[in-house]
Amino acid sequence: MKNRAYAKAGVDIELGNQVKQSLPELLRSTHRPEVLGSVGGFGGLFRLNTKGMKRPVLVSSVDGVGTKLKVAFAARKHHTIGQDLVNHCVNDIAVLGAEPLFFLDYLGTGVLKPRVFESIISGFAKACRENRCALVGGETAQMPAFYQKGEYDVSGTIVGIVDEKRMLDGKSIKAGDVILGLPSNGLHTNGYTLAREILFNQLNLRPHSKMKELGTTVGEELLRVHRSYLAVIQKLLRRFHLQPRTRSIKGLAHITGGGFTDNIPRILPQKVDAKIARGSWPVPPIFELIQREGQVSSSEMHTVFNMGIGMVMIVRRDQSDAICRYLKRIKEPVFQIGSVVRGRGQCHLA
């Protein structure tokens, strides 16, 4: 009967310990040789290996999933949320040319439900394995009366490494360079507040509502996993970025919150602009549905959503065809979506 007073107040320590019993196995499934220590310590241990690097630089990022969580709550499907978070964080450091090393998660909830907890953590582990990134630990907080019934929040922190001489910083981008786009897998993890307002509040749809133009239910469409671009980025860098004279990839931009207009300028020098040609790639039906039914302007759509392009690459013009041929050979769709022109470090939609 110990700890019953705390449990009655809303925090069940014994339940927390019970649902965490599967953690050691899940964390071991993401193991890298550099990981030290055991599960349950006060801090995750990682022996840094910088062999082959002259000036190693640690790269870190932290993020959440946003109101995509509301769709998961409504659909009662939680197994993709962990993958969304890991992949989002991986992409944020991959654009710098970094290799992800380890990931830590935070999960806050009112009442800890074992099935939901296991689904989320399994998603973290799955994505970490796929990205060769160690899941070294995290924090789970039970906070009754802080969250609405059945709801939770997640965030994650990732740490990676890159040799400074191979880091992608966009400084060499100049007028005449070509802008390529890699396709997204739907909304990824941004724009869900507007999407939910239009689809659920204005159209009165539900997660189980089937939409012929989507070819699936609304919930399944909105819960598509945020893509990881790590594998394709690493292949491109090995082929086109190893030697100074062959560095054809000048900058990468992860198209997340802020869409094209906010994210592409993050890698542009102040003397150039990015000119994006709308209509130069196929826009997935979900975006067309949101725009039409919500009467959202095209400019706002490209600011809120990725519109079907999750990763942007700025490359040398004389190497753009070779890069496109290589991507098609490895069965990665790619679109030439614009060019770099003289300007003031902004992104324009044409």
pLDDT tens-digit readout, 230-262: 999 999 999 987 666 668 999 999 999 899 999
Please state, for a pLDDT cut of 90, what percent of the chain lies above it: 76
Q: Mean pLDDT: which of 30-34, 48-52, 304-308 is highest?
A: 304-308
Please list the alpha-helical segments (H only) found in the chain: 4-9, 13-19, 23-28, 68-75, 81-94, 114-130, 192-196, 218-222, 230-240, 259-263, 285-294, 298-304, 317-329
pTM: 0.93
Sign of the torsion formed by the C-alpha atoms of 292, 297, 298 and 304: negative
Return the pLDDT at 20. 63
Classify 168 as helix, strand or coil: coil
> Binning pLDDT at 50, 70 and 90, where does residue 9 land?
low
What is the pLDDT at residue 246?
66
Q: What percentage of the chain reaches a pLDDT higher than 70?
A: 92
Span 217-236, average pLDDT? 97
Q: Are 284 and 140 in contact (CB under 8 A)?
A: no
| 295 class by beta-carbon count within 10 Å (0-12 exposed, 13-18 middle, 19+ buried) | exposed
- Residue 18's pLDDT is what? 64
Q: Single out the residue of 160, 162, 110 nearest to residue 131, CA to CA.
A: 160
pLDDT at 332: 96
**What's the confidence (pLDDT) of residue 337?**
97
Take residue 3 and report the two structure tokens written for it: 């700890």
Closest listed residue to residue 312, CA positions, set 271, 277, 350, 272: 277
The better pLDDT of the pair 193, 36 is held by 193
Residue 21 reports pLDDT greater than 90: no
Q: How confident is the model at residue 26 (pLDDT cuts 50, 70, 90)?
A: confident
Q: What is the CATH number of domain 178-349?
A: 3.90.650.10
Q: Quickly tell me which residue has 């100049």 as its tokens.
A: 174
Both tokens of residue 24? 């050691």
Helix (H) or strand (E) holding 58: strand 56-64
- What pLDDT shows up at residue 243? 63
String of DSSP letters for 114-167: HHHHHHHHHHHHHHHHHTT-EEEEEEEEE-TTTS-TT-EEEEEEEEEEEEGGG-
Q: What local confidence, expressed as pLDDT, does residue 4 receive?
A: 72
In tens, the pLDDT along 137-161 reads 888 888 988 999 889 999 999 999 9
Q: What is the mean pLDDT of the chain?
A: 91
How far apart are the C-alpha atoms of 290 and 38, rounded to whole Å? 47
The residue that leads in pLDDT, 13 or 59, is 59
Domain limits, the chain:
4-166, 178-349
Asked whether the predicted pLDDT for residue 173 surpasses 60, the reply is yes
Provide the token pair at 160.
């990676």
What pLDDT is recorded for position 340?
97
Calpha distance 110→151 (Å, rounded): 7
Architecture of domain 4-166: 2-Layer Sandwich (3.30)
Write down the pLDDT at residue 16. Answer: 60
19 has a pLDDT exceeding 80: no
Per-residue pLDDT reduced to its tens digit, 65-114: 999 999 999 999 999 999 999 999 999 999 999 999 999 999 999 988 88
- C-alpha 306/C-alpha 253 separation (Å) is 11
* Under 8 Å between Cβ of 260 and 305: no
